[in-house]
Amino acid sequence: MSTLIPEAAEQHYSSARPSKRTRTSTATLEALTVGLDVQAGIFGRAKDTDLLRFRAGTRRYAVLNHPDYVDHVLHGGRLKYEKAFEYEMLRAILGISLFTDEGESWQRHRTLLNPMFARRHLHGLLDLMVEPIAESIAALDTGPARAEIDMVGEMVQLTLNVVGSALFGQQFGHIAQRMSGLVTGGLRFAERLERLFVVAAPPKSLWRAAARVAFTPIPLPPPLRKIQHIVRTLDAEVWRVVTDRYENPTDSPDLLNHLLTAADSEGTLQLKRVRDEALTFMLAGHETTANALSWMWYLLALNSEARERMLTEVDTVLQGRTPTVEDLPKLLWTSACVQEAMRYFSPAWTIPRVAIEDDVIDGHHIRRGTTVIVPSHFIHHDARWWPEPEQFDPSRFLPGAGKGRPRSAYLPFGGGRRICIGSSFALMESVLITAMWSQHYVFDLVPGFPVEPEATLTLRPKHGLRMVARRRET
């Protein structure tokens, strides 16, 4: 196998490293225009040290590039850390959900909602997930046998439809198309705000007060007026579906029904919390999965041997049928391709936390208020944990592989108690999409099209991803 990403986008990693690097590097940034591109460059320097410190404006950072250090933050020392200010932007749009909540409230709601993603409930969602996938294939079939497509756009639309169907049931399908543009616009605006907050983060109380205005009729000044329109439109759409279901219950197996009926000794969820959890799952759930799938199709196009093995497995297991619950555990190589793609190009490429009290990590003092960054993408390309990390090798994720690898060396869904509650859903969705699309099409790269990773809120193809869809003759 060969190196997979274009020369312009290559990341170089040293393969001759000691088991642990104990030195600490320090860098000071003095740029008013600092952005995520600069931040990504700083993080890139962390590949040569296990703890990198730097300042950006008024903010202090520590980048942790060793699984033991990450373990401390996500597991053993987790009570000394909470989600960093970067999540406040999402809280302003999404509200208080498992993704943005903290403390005892988070613990109560996590315990309450865990059963939603138990295997028996996920299996009940399969038909809701399969239908929009089948519709996307039917739409491709209306075109020629060989057609050029924007894979990123296709995956964004498809994952939004799949998540929407599983969350809201079939009634979501007719509004998914309208919401797709709003979701993309909201994420782009959040990225621009992120560039400002890298340098200086306002007090949370001030930011939260300002964010509440976005949901009122009071017009905000440009360019905030655009995000206000996006926020209010998304809010209205989700509230409409939630209140309609509350007033007109159904027996649908979708996740909204689970949100409305989940209960503990304190009672059921308030409708506002149902809205917040639903919107979070829809927005956060589709963006990262769309990027992961886009990168997977790209990597498979560059690795014909891995792709042919996947196509053979899909044909052998499914025999032309629509996948069932019983088929999923048999698609081992297909699942491994998805997981290896998330290692190679990590959609959630960093995990930010803030120290809420002084701490010590392996002798390194972490001051209260320091933003601690876990650079998942660089840990996933560290030769100490991943032999030949620049090779696309799905066999790393076959049963029995990876014994002895540190648990925090693979972090596509985070780690610790706050690991993404929807990780099993995302893997199930990704395997279904990969298998069903591969039954009908093979995807090749458009020659000469530039493919370059862009480190924004997620790691996505900077220029999109143009591919040629070739209809299979099987």
Concatenating the DSSP letter of every residue in 2-15 gives: ---S-GGG-----S
Q: What is the pLDDT of residue 37?
A: 47
Q: Quick check: 115 pLDDT over 80? A: yes
Of the candidate ranges 27-41, 53-67, 351-365, 403-417, the one whose mean pLDDT is the lowest: 27-41
Report d(CA 69, CA 409) in Å as an integer.
11
Q: Which amino acid is at 456?
A: T
pTM, two decimal places = 0.87
pLDDT 10s digits, 196-227: 677 667 777 776 776 777 667 777 777 667 77
In whole angstroms, give the CA distance from residue 378 to residue 405. 15
Tell whether the model's pLDDT for residue 383 goes beyond 90.
yes
pLDDT the model gives residue 6: 35
**395 to each of 297, 300, 411, 428, how far by Cα in Å?**
17, 14, 18, 19
- Over residues 131-138, the mean pLDDT reads 95
* pLDDT of res. 7: 32
- Is pLDDT larger for residue 205 or for residue 440? 440
Question: 345 lies in which domain range?
Answer: 7-471
Q: What is the dihedral of CA 132, 136, 137, 143, to 10 degrees?
A: 160
Q: Is the pLDDT of residue 466 over 80?
A: yes
230 occurs within a structural domain: yes
User: Does residue 67 have a cis peptide bond before it, meaning omega lies within 30 degrees of 0?
Assistant: no
**What does the DSSP assignment read for 328-342?**
GGG-HHHHHHHHHHH
Question: Poorest-confidence range of 222-231, 278-287, 324-333, 340-349?
Answer: 222-231
* pLDDT at position 139: 94
- Whether residue 40 lies inside any domain: the answer is yes
How confident is the model over 97-111, as a mean pLDDT?
Answer: 93
Count: domains in the chain: 1
Q: Assign 454 a pLDDT band (cuts: 50, 70, 90).
A: confident
Contacts of 209 (CB under 8 A, 6+ apart): none
Indicate whether 130 pLDDT > 70.
yes
For residues 289 and 426, the answer to whether their CB atoms sit within 8 Å is: yes
Going by pLDDT thresholds of 50, 70 and 90, the confidence category of residue 170 is low
Strands 371-374 and 59-64: parallel
Tell me, what CATH number does 74's domain have?
A: 1.10.630.10
Q: What percent of the chain has pLDDT over 90?
A: 59
Q: Which residue bears the tokens 């196509």?
A: 311
More confidently predicted of 466 and 168: 466
Q: What value does the mean pLDDT of the chain take?
A: 84
Asked whether residue 1 is domain-assigned, the answer is no
For residue 2, tell me if it sits in a domain.
no
Is the pLDDT confidence value at 13 over 50?
A: no
20 within some domain: yes
Q: Is residue 48 part of a domain?
A: yes
Most confident of 15-29, 84-98, 419-433: 419-433
Q: Which residue has the higher pLDDT, 9 or 275?
A: 275
Where does 51-124 have alpha helices with state H? 67-71, 86-94, 103-113, 119-124
When mean pLDDT is compared across 165-174, 258-267, 306-315, the lowest value belongs to 165-174
What three-state secondary structure class fits 452? coil
The predicted model gives 339-366 an average pLDDT of: 95
